[in-house]
Amino acid sequence: MEEHPPWAGLDERIVAEIVDRVPCEIDRLRVYAMCRSWRAALVRRRHPPPPPALPYLFLRRGNDPVFHCVASGWRAHADVNVLELLVLRDKRLFGSYEGSWVFIALEQALLHMLVNIDTLETFDLPTGLRNAVGSEKIIIAAATLSCQPTEQRCVVAGIVRLHSDPRGVRSILLCRRDAREASLIFPEEASMEAEDVLYHKGAFHFLTQGEHIAVADPKLLGALNKGGLKYLRFSPSGYKHEHQFVEARYLVESREHLLMVVRLAPIPMFAASAFRVFQMAEGMLYGQAHYAWEELHTLDGRMLFVGRGCSRSYEAAAYPGSKSGIYFLDDRSWHDPEIVFRDVAERLYDCSDNGIWSGTPPGIEHFDPGWPPGPSNYSPPVWILPRDYNFTQPDQISRLLSSG
C-alpha cells in the first residue's frame, strides 16, 4: 500500500479545506502555528478571510473565568492566556465590544473600566456624575461603544443606576471614553426607562421598557447631555404572551434592520421558556412618522446572540455545522440591582440558564458545561466579542504566534 505524503506536503487545496472546517478562531490560529508550510501555502493562495468570529460565552468555574466556544460546540478553552484570567478574576463584567474589549467593574461598582483581554490596554470609564450638590456614584449595568476605543472620536453609551438609589430608575449615560465623570439623562416616564442599548447606523439606540426607542447621535454629545434625545414612540403591538412574563428585551441589528427580541418565562426570575422576535417597521400615518413592531415567525437562517449592549446577528450558512436560533445567556440578575452591594458569600449571580432557542421542539436546548454552572459571587455570564484575525497577512500571523 502506498504511503500517504508527509503532512507538510499536503496539496494546498486540501490545506484550505481543512482550515474551512475549523470554525473556532483560536483553533484556526493553532492550525497556522502547526506547520510552516501550511501557513505559507495559505498565504500564497490568498485564502479568503473567514466570516466574523462568533462570540465566546464567558462563565465562571468557582472564581476562575472559563471561555466556551460556541463555534466548536460550546467547548471550553482552558488554555487561555494566564493574564486574561488575572484581568477578569473577581471582576463584574457588564458587556463587551468587537476586538476582545470587555467592560469590567472592580469591587462590583467601585471603578468601571474597558479592558482588552488580548493586549491588556485599558481605558477608564465614569464612576460618578457631577451635579449641583457635588458628585454622585453610579453603577453601570450595560454599555457599548460608537467605534473602537482606540479612536479619539469614540463615545461610550451606558445604562446606569445611582449608588444612592439602586432600585430607582435606570438612566442613560453618554460620554467620551476615558472620562471619569459624566452627565446622565433621566427617563421622562416609566415607559422610557432603558432596557438595552445598541449602536446602529451612526447613532445609539436605547430600547425602553415600553418598547419605544430613544436615539442619541454621538456627534451631538454636548446637546444630548442636556436632554437632546430623539424619541421614536411605537404603536402598541397588541401581542399577548399566553401566561408568560417578559423577562428581558434586547435590540439587535440584523440585515440592516432593527429587531427586538423578547425573552419569556412562566414565572418572573425563572429560566427562559420561549423567545419572540419583532422587526421595526417605519411608515407615515396622517403625515407623521409611524413606528411599529412586526413579529417575525421564522429566523430565516439567523443566529441571534442576545445580551444587553452586545447583541449580534450572524448568518448560520457561513458557519458549517451551526444552526439558526437565539443564543442566550443567564442575565436574570439584571432584576436585582442591589446585588452589587452584598457581601461576597451572599452575592449570587445566576449562571445556569444559557442555551439556544430554535423555535421548534424541544424549543430550548440548555448548554451543559460539564460542571454545575454557578451561581457566581462575582459576575453574570457575558458574551465576549473576539477580534478577527487576518490570516492572509504573514506579519500579523508571526506577531500573533510570537505573542500567544
Residue 389 is predicted with a pLDDT of 62
Question: Given a cut of 60, is residue 54 above it in pLDDT?
Answer: yes
The pTM of the full predicted model, rounded to 2 decimals, is: 0.89
Question: Given a cut of 50, is residue 255 above it in pLDDT?
Answer: yes
Residue 402 is predicted with a pLDDT of 47
Question: Given a cut of 60, is residue 17 above it in pLDDT?
Answer: yes
Question: Given a cut of 60, is residue 226 above it in pLDDT?
Answer: no
Lowest mean pLDDT among 6-15, 42-51, 181-190, 288-297: 42-51
CB atoms within 10 A of CB 182: 21
If one compares 48 and 178, the residue with the highest pLDDT of the two is: 178
Nearest by Cα to 107 from 340, 336, 383, 381: 340
List every span in the chain annotated with CATH 2.120.10.
Answer: 51-387
CB atoms within 10 A of CB 233: 15
Q: Give the integer Cα–Cα distance in Å for 265 and 273.
A: 5
Question: Where in 62-177 does DSSP place strands (E)?
Answer: 64-69, 75-77, 92-97, 101-106, 111-116, 122-125, 128-131, 134-145, 155-162, 171-176
Residue with cell 419605544: 212
Class of domain 51-387: mainly beta
Q: Give the integer Cα–Cα distance in Å for 278 and 229.
A: 23
Give the rounded distance of the alpha carbon of 362 from its chain centre: 25
pLDDT level of residue 29 (50, 70, 90 thresholds): low
DSSP string, 353-403: --EEE-SSTT-EEE---SS----BSS---EEE-PPPP-TT-HHHHHHHHHH
Each as own residue / partner, the long-range contacts of residues 261-267 (CB below 8 Å, 24 or more positions apart, any chain) are 261/304, 261/306, 261/311, 261/326, 263/306, 263/328
Residue with cell 449580534: 312
Give the rounded distance of the alpha carbon of 400 from its chain centre: 24
pLDDT tens sequence across 119-137: 899 999 999 886 655 678 9
CB atoms within 10 A of CB 74: 17
Residue 404 is predicted with a pLDDT of 44
Q: What percent of the chain clears pLDDT 90, i.e. is strictly above it?
A: 52
If one compares 44 and 397, the residue with the highest pLDDT of the two is: 44
Nearest by Cα to 181 from 240, 121, 212, 225: 225
Question: Given a cut of 90, is residue 400 above it in pLDDT?
Answer: no
Residue 350 is predicted with a pLDDT of 94
Lowest mean pLDDT among 33-42, 50-59, 70-79, 268-277: 33-42
Top mean pLDDT of 228-242, 331-345, 375-389 is at 331-345
Lowest mean pLDDT among 156-170, 213-227, 280-294, 342-356: 213-227
Question: Given a cut of 50, is residue 8 above it in pLDDT?
Answer: yes
Question: How high does pLDDT run on average in the chain?
Answer: 85
Nearest by Cα to 312 from 25, 96, 68: 96
Lowest mean pLDDT among 26-40, 192-206, 263-277, 308-322: 26-40
If one compares 376 and 285, the residue with the highest pLDDT of the two is: 376
Q: Which residues, 6+ apart, have CB-to-CB distance to 316 below 8 Å?
A: 301, 302, 303, 322, 323, 324
Which phi and psi angles does 398 have, rounded to 5°? -60, -40
CA distances from 182 to 66, 95, 120, 128, 137 (A): 33, 19, 24, 7, 10
Question: Given a cut of 70, is residue 149 above it in pLDDT?
Answer: yes
Q: Give the integer Cα–Cα distance in Å for 61 and 42.
A: 37
Question: Given a cut of 90, is residue 237 above it in pLDDT?
Answer: no
If one compares 225 and 264, the residue with the highest pLDDT of the two is: 264
Q: Give the integer Cα–Cα distance in Å for 141 and 285.
A: 36
- Backbone torsion region of residue 375, taken as left when φ is above 0, otherwise alpha when ψ lies between -120 and 50, otherwise beta: beta
DSSP letter at 334?
G
Lowest mean pLDDT among 59-73, 194-208, 268-282: 59-73
Question: Given a cut of 60, is residue 337 above it in pLDDT?
Answer: yes
Lowest mean pLDDT among 11-20, 94-103, 257-266, 357-366: 11-20
SS3 83: helix
Residue 49 near residue 344, CB atoms below 8 Å: no
Residue 403 is predicted with a pLDDT of 45
Residue with cell 466556551: 68
State the helix-helix crossing angle for 36-45 and 12-20, rounded to 10 degrees. 90
Residue 340 is predicted with a pLDDT of 95
Residue 47 is predicted with a pLDDT of 60
For 35-66, b/e burial (b = at least 16 CB within 10 A) is eeebbebbeeeebeebebbbbbbbbbbeeebb
